[in-house]
Amino acid sequence: MVINNGKQKHQQQQTETLTRKAQILLNKTKNSIFYRHGKRRDEAVMKRNVQGHHTKATKSMLETNAATTYWKYRGSG
């Protein structure tokens, strides 16, 4: 029983370090210039779409799952 308990503790520590690393990475991206100025760029893209340029391409891009998550977290910083 003691060995098993130790194993669980070790796994828990591993996941904690992983989440910490992910947090650091996330903070780095949030502090990056691209992230901070992303909101303005997105607004410009949306304005362009209203004018009728690139609408089809952007629409298909927005329909894909990866793109929707990208736009969701974009400019939230």
pLDDT by position in tens, the chain (length 77): 455 565 666 666 666 666 777 777 766 665 555 555 555 666 666 666 555 555 555 556 556 666 566 666 666 55
Q: Which residue range forms the structural domain that includes residue 52?
A: 36-77
The letter for the amino acid at 60 is: S
- Does one domain contain both 40 and 76? yes
- Does one domain contain both 27 and 40? no
- Does one domain contain both 8 and 45? no
19 Cα distance to chain centroid: 14
- Does one domain contain both 49 and 27? no
Residue 14 has a pLDDT of 62
Residue 33 has a pLDDT of 55
φ, ψ of residue 36 to 5 degrees: the values are -65, -40
Distance (Å, rounded) from C-alpha 42 to C-alpha 61?
13
Residue 21 has a pLDDT of 73
Residue 23 has a pLDDT of 73
- Does one domain contain both 19 and 48? no
- Determine the straight-line distance between the first and last CA of the chain, rounded to whole angstroms: 46
- Does one domain contain both 19 and 44? no
Element (H, E) at 45: helix 38-51
- Does one domain contain both 25 and 45? no
